[in-house]
Structure 1
Amino acid sequence: MMKQLLSVRTIVAIGIGAAVFVILGRFSSIPTGIPNTNIEVTYAFLALMAVIFGPLAGGFIGLIGHALKDLIFYGSIWWSWVIVSMLVGFLFGLVSKKIDIESGEFTKKKIASFNVVQVVAQAFGWFVVAPTLDIWIYAEPANKVFIQGMSVGLSNIVVVGILGTILLSLYARTRTKKGSLDME
Structure 2
Amino acid sequence: MNTNNSITKIVATGVGAAVFFILGRFISIPIGIPNTSLETTYPFLALMAVIFGPVTGALVGLIGHAIKDLLTYGLWWSWVICSGVSGLGYGLVGRKIKLRSGSLSKKDLIVFNIGQILTNIIAWGILAPSLDILIYKEPANKVFTQGLVSAGLNSVSVLILGSILLTAYAKRTTQEGSLRKDI
Query: TM-score per shorter chain, which class?
Result: over 0.9
Partner in structure 1 of residue 41 of structure 2: 42
Give the alignment partner of residue 112 of structure 2, picking from 114, 117, 121.
114
2:22 maps to: 23
1:160 aligns with one of 158, 161, 173: 158
The DSSP-based 3-state class of the residue aligned with 2:45 is helix
Question: 1:47-62 maps to which residues of 2 (within 5 A)?
Answer: 47-62=46-61
Equivalent pairs, count: 181
Q: Does 2:9 match 1:10?
A: yes
Unaligned runs of 5+ in 2: none
| 2:126 corresponds to 1:128 | yes
Residues 25-58 of structure 1 show CA distances to partners (whole Å, capped at 9, x for unaligned) of 0111000100010000100000000000000000
Amino acid at match of 1:35: P
Separation in 1, partners of 2:86, 2:180: 40
| Structure 1 SS opposite 2:175 | coil
Q: Please show how residues 56-75 of structure 1 align to structure 2 within 5 Å.
A: 56-74=55-73
Q: Which amino acid aligns with 1:18?
A: A
SS at match of 1:30: strand
Moved >2 Å (runs of 4+): none
Corresponding residue number in structure 1 for 2:135: 137
Q: 1:92 aligns with which of 90, 93, 96?
A: 90
TM-score by length of 1: 0.95
Give distance in 2, aligned partners of 1:91 and 1:84: 10
In 1: Cα distance, 2:67 partner to 2:180 partner: 47
- 8 A Cα contact 2:24 2:39, kept in partner: yes
Q: Distance in 1 between matches of 2:148 and 2:171?
A: 34
**Cα separation, 2, equivalents of 1:178 and 1:140:** 50
Structure-2 separation of matches of 1:86 and 1:41: 16
Aligned residue type for 1:37: T
Provide the identity percentage: 56
> Deviation string for 1:48-87 (max 9, x for gaps)?
000000000000000000000000111x210000010000
User: Match of 2:48, as an amino acid?
Assistant: M
The runs of 5 or more residues in structure 1 that have no matched partner are none
Q: How much does 1:105 deviate? A: 1.2
What letter matches 1:99 in structure 2? I
Normalised TM-score (structure 2): 0.95
